[in-house]
Amino acid sequence: MEDRKLLIKISRTKLKQASLLWADGFREACCLHRVLVLCRRSRQLLIRTGQCFLLNGFIFLGSLFVLNSVVIPILRWILPDQRSQISYGGTSAFDGVLNFYSFLRGLLVQLFYVFWFYPLYVFSFILSNLWYNDIAKHGFAAMGRSGPSVVESSKQKNALNSDSKMHAAKPAGLGWIMIEIGEQVYSVLLLSFFFLEVYATGFIPYVGKALNFLLLSWMYAYYCFEYKWNFSEWGLEKRLDFFETNWAFFAGFGNCFSL
């Protein structure tokens, strides 16, 4: 009986701590005013942030809007898919023309993707990665510090000291480069498999949507902090350890994006 009461008490304490961490993460994600404050402090940060909005928001999403609102409607007008828009005598010949028009429309849309969207996506992905690192650097400079974020506990601060010792013990030159490449490849594979898990959980009956929402929140939160960790030179093992230790905080932080 005493063990049961002790277990209930411990569970309540853990649940309270997790709830407080979740609330802290959700509140941190809602502090959008920090963007305006930091951009006022740093002109470089303002320029890089504006460039990201211009590239991803105006050019990329603008191209998608042009495709759906201009290109596809024009193709449907030139190559109609409704019987009333074509005056034809024979039914079989009419169906053949509609099938040919449908195939031609799909081919032209795919060509639009191949020669515009896919190159633009690759260009946007590479350029955004470079700009995000600059945003992390200028953001740290605008905050007047380059150390860990305010959400880190004393345990993580002690882990920073041990991580710096491990960093000093790592090989230099080609060995260090190989370690960096290996960590990046492992990170990409890890996130890819995690994304497949997020997608697969959506098909589980009853609890699938809730699991999908939670995993998606964690994935968004990891993406948000990854560039900061890159700039702080945190290794992959330390990132995952910190993420798992503060899982409730990152769940709350990612909930805003999932919502």
DSSP characters for 63-90?
HHHHIIIIIHHHHHHHS--SGGG---S-
- Residue 17 placed within a domain: no
* pLDDT 10s digits, 106-147: 888 888 888 888 888 888 888 887 888 888 888 888 887 544
- Residue 193 placed within a domain: no
Query: How many domains in the chain?
Result: 1
Q: Per-residue b/e over 89-124, b at no fewer than 16 CB within 10 Å?
A: eeeeeeeeebeebeeebeeeeeebeeeebeebeeee
- Residue 15 placed within a domain: no
**Cβ pair 19, 248 in contact under 8 A:** yes
DSSP states along 13-32? HHHHHHHHHHHHHHHHHT-T
Lowest mean pLDDT among 39-43, 62-66, 82-86, 178-182: 82-86
Segment 25-53 shows an average pLDDT of: 91
- Residue 48 placed within a domain: yes
- Residue 204 placed within a domain: no
* pLDDT 10s digits, 57-79: 888 888 888 888 988 888 888 87
Reported confidence tier of residue 160, pLDDT bands at 50, 70, 90? very low
The answer on pLDDT for 93 being more than 90 is no
Q: Which domain holds residue 77?
A: 31-84+93-143
- Residue-level pLDDT at 241: 93
pLDDT mean across residues, the chain: 81
- Residue-level pLDDT at 15: 92
- Residue-level pLDDT at 147: 45
